Structure 1
Amino acid sequence: MPLFDFPLEQLREYRPERDEPADFDDFWKRTLTEAEAFDLAAEFTPYDSALTSVEVYDATFAGWRGHRINGWFLLPRGASEPVPCVVHFIGYNGGRGFPHEHVVWPAAGYAVFVVETRGQGGGATWAPGTTADPDGGDYAQTPGMMTRGIMDPETYYYRRVFADAARAVDVAASHPAVDASRIVVEGASQGGGIAQAVAALRPSVSAALIDVPFLTHFRRAVEITDRDPYQELVRFLSSQRHAEERVFRTLSYFDGVNFAARGTVPALYSVALMDMTCPPSTVFAAYNHWAGPKEITVWPWNDHEGGGGAQREEQLRYLRRLWASHD
């Protein structure tokens, strides 16, 4: 896989103008207010995972319009006081998988809340999911989620997803075993894009770990990559030839660059310079707009897998430094 985007020196300076609707903040304030009209109704049911050092709970809560969102909630067994919590968001088409796949954070002494993305994971053998999306929009779409309800920001799929994710932070903060002052949002690809948005929507979180984020700088992404999921947008526009203005207006409410400009918490990003799924310039566009303290790890020779386990080590050390400085 060749280097195909701007040189690294140019990427570090790449800060494009934001395509931002005038009512961006009002739209999201109203969206969260509508979501908060429903009680969280969080439930944590003990689950026998055969893990001896971790407590596992089958978790569920009320997301957008009260729709039930599922996940796993894991705690280090025998913690004597409330612990930090990582709220983990999942990559495109994945579900929550199995509890044993999420033990790294409890091994480090943290709780982890693995939050499913509504409507995804039904066909993912690598990480099956269980959460439905009762709202589907009222317009034709390409296969996948990127164009579901895309003709209007009110009906766009990711409005529901981001509202669910913001509610998940509230669920984590409400759990008696969690130190609500030390909640982190985290994810890669789609999960990174969701974490990026939630860090802006819930500035009470203490940090954001954002790996190779999707859902960011849409216009450039669709122009320079031929990979899914961004190609879902291209296929839609190639069929709906007069929809471009409406589509990109909708996407402007969900663009990670606009959320990044509102992100004030400490953030650790990662980017892969050979990533043709979430091109490096789209990641740097958001990172360079991030308004709070920030660091970025660059993986020069990787595609969308990014840093993998090496990046997880970076994150573990980052949080240890971050919280040590606050103690």
Structure 2
Amino acid sequence: MTATHPAFVHDFPFDPAYGLTLDDLLRVPAPEAPADFADFWRERYEEALRVAPKPEVGRVVEERDGVRVHEVTYASLGGVRLGGWLVLPVEGPVEHGFVIGHGYGGRDAAGPDVPLPLPRAAAILPCVRGMGERGLLPGVPSVSAEHVLHGIASRDSYVIGECVADLWCAATALLELVPELAESGPRLGYLGESFGGGLGALALPWDDRFAAGQLTVPTFGNHPLRLTLDCIGSGASVRRHHQDHPEVIDVLRYFDAATAATHLHKPILVAPALFDPSVPPPGQFAIHNAVASGGELHVLDAGHFEWPGLERAVSELAAAKGEFFERELK
């Protein structure tokens, strides 16, 4: 897809386009992976599959766009219990299922994730641990700048790995609540933006229950490069921490969404931005460029930024998501 290089007026003390053109961005690689990267993630996935989520559906909080939105809770790795929303059609059978991740800061309602990309679909919208009112847990920071550093001293304790497990357990909960999704083998779709996009890239390679995924302005791509780029998002907190604790790069290598994308052999639609003050575009494009299946690209002029074309861009991306999942979740 062609796109122009945006030149937005802004007051950031750095260039959120980092002086790069689309051609430059399409050449950003994934970093070298640890030798046991795949083994680490497969073991984490198997551990999450052993969790009995015991989902409980609560009250209906909203009905619109042909669906009912329920409160839902489920158990995840480590015995924690998380909340979120379950979206079910008002009428007719369920033909498609989605797990929908959220950005840093969590979510307080189903909000813009409804309507879903396809009709006759069900979805679970989990709040991963620490994020949003329904994901709050004792001892887990709820502020993104602190959350992204929680447990970062070890790959086994880093909260990002636990958040990925929260998505896997959410998928298990959805399949228990809507058993018809598993009748002929689950073919779930995943959607995630920013934080949820990075988590999705880390989660999807190992979970065959997902047939396709869509990642918008995804984070956690190419950590060695991200650590050299100024930004205002959670990456700034990691960058500052790395300056005092350079050894943390050995942990971050296991949580690199671009590295994970090299194991993504299923259809993936990535929507990275050319200009983004929160998630540097080179990291976003590194994820797309690394997708093993080749991936599909939908370039956005900007991310995490208000600009005159935002409303139109949101509409065009929604249409692209619908076309993508209609094709890939047959």
Q: TM-score, normalised by structure 2?
A: 0.84
Which of 157, 164, 177 is equivalent to 2:166?
A: 164
Which of 159, 179, 184 is equivalent to 2:181?
A: 179
- Within 2, Cα distance between the matches of 1:106 and 1:8? 27
What are the superposed Cα offsets for residues 120-149 of structure 1, whole Å, 9 maximum, x if unpaired?
12xxxxxxx222234659xxx995211111
Give the alignment of 1:48-197 within 5 angstroms.
Answer: 48-51=61-64, 53-79=66-92, 81-95=93-107, 97-99=108-110, 101-105=112-116, 108-121=119-132, 129-134=133-138, 136=140, 143-176=145-178, 178-180=180-182, 181-197=186-202
- Within 2, Cα distance between the matches of 1:106 and 1:77? 16
* Aligned partners of 1:89 and 1:186 also within 8 Å: yes
Larger relative contact order (C-alpha < 8 A, sep ≥ 6)?
A: 2
What are the superposed Cα offsets for residues 148-173 of structure 1, whole Å, 9 maximum, x if unpaired?
11111111111110111111122222
List 4+ stretches of structure 1 deviating above 6 A.
Answer: none
Q: Any unmatched runs of 5+ in structure 2?
A: 1-7, 9-14
* Aligned partners of 1:93 and 1:120 also within 8 Å: yes
Match of 1:265 in 2: 266
Letter in 1 for 2:278: T
Match of 1:315 in 2: 321
- Within 2, Cα distance between the matches of 1:63 and 1:276? 32
Q: Secondary structure at the match of 2:218?
A: coil
Aligned length: 306
Would the alpha carbon gap of residues 289 and 74 (structure 1) be closer, same or farther in structure 2, given more than 3 Å must change? same
| Superposed CA RMSD | 2.5
Match of 2:280 in 1: 279
Q: Secondary structure at the match of 1:47?
A: strand
Question: What is the CA distance between 1:219 and its match in structure 2?
Answer: 1.9
* Aligned partners of 1:14 and 1:284 also within 8 Å: yes
- The yes-or-no answer on 1:212 pairing with 2:223 is no
- Within 1, Cα distance between the matches of 2:270 and 2:144? 30
Sequence identity percentage: 24
Q: Any unmatched runs of 5+ in structure 1?
A: 122-128
Q: Secondary structure at the match of 2:156?
A: coil
Q: TM-score, normalised by structure 1?
A: 0.85
Letter in 2 for 1:194: L
Match of 1:298 in 2: 299
* Aligned partners of 1:136 and 1:149 also within 8 Å: no
- Within 2, Cα distance between the matches of 1:224 and 1:32? 31
